[in-house]
Copies of this chain bind each other. A is one copy, B any other.
Amino acid sequence: MFLEKINSPKDVKKLRRKDLPSLCEEIRTALLQRLSKKGGHAGPNLGAVELTVALHYVFDAPQDKIVFDVSHQCYTHKMLTGRKQAFLYEQCYGQANGFTNPSESAYDLFTVGHTSTALSLACGLAKARDLLGQKHNVVAVVGDGSLSGGEAYEGLNNIAEQGTNFIAVINDNEMSIAENHGGYAKNLGELRRTKGKAKHNMFLALGLDYLYEEEGNDVNRLVNLFRKIKDCSRPVAVHLHTQKGKGYPPAEQNTEKFHSCGPFCLQTGEMLKAPEESYNSITRDYLQNKIASDKSVFVISSGTPAVLALDAPRREAMGKNFVDVGIAEEHAVAFASGAAKGGAKPVYAVFGSFLQRSFDQLHQDLALDNNPAVILSFWDSVYGMGGATHNGLYDVAELSNIPNLLYLAPTCVEEYLAMLDWAIDQTQRSVAIRVPAKVYHGSFVATDYSAQRSVVTKKGSGVAILAVGSMYRTAEQAAELLAQKGVHATLVNPVCLTSVDEKLLNELAETHSLIVTVEEGILDGGYGQKVASLLGDKDVKVKNFGLEKSFFGDFIPDELLARNGLTAEQIAAYISDFKA
């Protein structure tokens, strides 16, 4: 076995050319073992085995710098750079996470999980090299899907202008997470069809040199190619045609399902966990019905139709009422704003972590004119996506402090659907909704959310608990614990994150000695601090519960809540111990 002996890229270089395919097969077997047991980005990793082996065979990392865009294709790189045990032995799986990670290895240059960043990051590495008089190669590995992001285009532009050694490896597996969209993707398709000889070529147009390789999963052809361009003096785009899911028939046949997946049966490719009721499918079902009765409603996705549990047949069925703009969150928001101005009813559904790309567009392109588009931000929750690059816990400071924009926080499915229905049909303002991650059913339903009024759901005395959205259930539990001790807390559903209900808060301040806020997000810049500020010079004490400002990495959700004092028991204990 070759893989067992590889502790660094130096060991890869010791192999004979003819042994490289065997190494690739061993890697693929290890990948599938881990992926089937632990889940992860199956398709991208399976397709990038050969190009990664070839890169480490030819280039000299870590002197040569290799940056993986979005880095969900970096497992092979990890195996070849001292972390093979995390793929070979189940008990070691925890030693390497699914993204490049400088704290794991000097071969990992950046912590990356958002797309379209590698060209710009690597352009900076090349600039430093040139300025410091160094000579190494700089390589960025970028998927075709990532090229839809504006940041990638800005990077290509500046790489061309910089004009020195830069190797952009375009790993073209003909797919984003789902199918690709946009003019650039058509150009890539034309280049594939013509084996790189198409009349129009975006890379040449932007000023890079260009090479095409049809056999992007043939490790020895890639070695030849990379040897040819190593130490090149100009920026070059090396366009490789690879196969997503390569070598595992279920992943080759169902590329979208296997882009990123949970544990699966290696024999059959069946997923081991059945999908549960989720806000993703709840939202999809609602929107399908809504569109059936109102053809001016349409759904926007930015390359992640899974946000709405929309598989290909369902997307097809939605026709013109579904638009996937590719991984282009900036465009998605401006596009929604324009469509709302034009009289349509756009609903943009996106994971909160990725909506960060649209901060300026939310501010300037949408909220400034208060166009009535609807933004649904998913998985802004400790129960959402894991990892420092995907945690959606920073949304409240981002969205709630933008003027005009109304950011609603439903506490249950029924309240969410009422908000969503109201938001789509109203024509007065831009509305965002913080879609919860955990499904609770309840009954707080209003027909108009424009007044931004909070709701007292239970009248008590002494202490009032204002629990935002997903934390309402926790506050209810805290109130039950307190009731057992004879403390009868007032409970409030704030409803909206973008302002505090001043009238209600002033009333509460006069009748209570303690106001407690609870939110599932970073405390700084959030809801509770607004409450503390409003009441800072009143005769009432305020205590804010929320998450410390930090990147959290991988964590167990309930543990993270407990570490931040966000359990019902901890909240009840604070209130019990409080001396007015």
A residues near B (Cβ < 8 Å) are 65, 67, 102, 109-114, 117, 120-132, 148-161, 181-187, 200-202, 204-208, 295-296, 298, 320-321, 323, 325-326, 328, 330-331, 334-344, 346, 356-357, 359-361, 363-365, 367-369, 388-389, 394, 397-398, 400-404, 499, 514, 522-526, 528-530, 532-533, 535-537, 541-544, 549-551, 578
A-B contact pairs, 19 of them (CB 8 A): A111-B369, A121-B365, A122-B338, A127-B342, A128-B341, A128-B343, A131-B321, A155-B335, A157-B184, A200-B204, A356-B359, A356-B364, A357-B360, A397-B401, A398-B398, A403-B522, A525-B529, A533-B533, A536-B544
Known contacts: A207-B187, A404-B551. The answer to whether A341 contacts B109 by CB under 8 A is yes
Contact B360 A114 (CB under 8 A): yes
Q: Contact check: which of B110, B323, B334 meets A341 at CB < 8 Å? A: B110
Q: Contact check: which of B158, B202, B331, B361 meets A331 at CB < 8 Å? A: B158
Measured CB to CB, the closest approach of chain B to A239, in angstroms, equals 13
Known contacts: A401-B394, A537-B542. The answer to whether A128 contacts B359 by CB under 8 A is no
Determine which residue in A148, A185, A401, A528 has the highest number of CB atoms from chain B within 10 A of its CB, and name it: A401
Contact B528 A525 (CB under 8 A): no
Contact A182 B160 (CB under 8 A): yes
Closest to A103 in B: B369
Taking CB atoms, residues of chain B closer than 8 Å to A123 are 331, 334-335, 338
Contact A335 B158 (CB under 8 A): yes
Known: A149-B150, A154-B330, A529-B530. 8 other contacts (CB 8 A): A113-B364, A125-B339, A132-B344, A153-B153, A153-B154, A356-B359, A529-B529, A537-B578
Taking CB atoms, residues of chain B closer than 8 Å to A403 are 522, 549-551
Contact B330 A151 (CB under 8 A): yes
Taking CB atoms, residues of chain B closer than 8 Å to A161 are 181-183, 186
Contact B187 A343 (CB under 8 A): no
Measured CB to CB, the closest approach of chain B to A4, in angstroms, equals 32
Taking CB atoms, residues of chain B closer than 8 Å to A524 are 400-401, 525, 530
Q: Contact check: which of B185, B207, B296, B359 meets A359 at CB < 8 Å? A: B359
Known contacts: A148-B157, A158-B182, A187-B205. The answer to whether A120 contacts B338 by CB under 8 A is yes
Taking CB atoms, residues of chain B closer than 8 Å to A400 are 524-525
Taking CB atoms, residues of chain B closer than 8 Å to A551 are 367-368, 403-404
Contact B155 A334 (CB under 8 A): yes
Contact B364 A389 (CB under 8 A): yes
Contact A342 B120 (CB under 8 A): no
10 closest pairs, A vs B, by CB? A150-B150, A124-B338, A128-B342, A160-B183, A157-B182, A183-B207, A120-B334, A154-B331, A359-B359, A536-B542
Q: Contact check: which of B125, B130, B331, B359 meets A360 at CB < 8 Å? A: B359
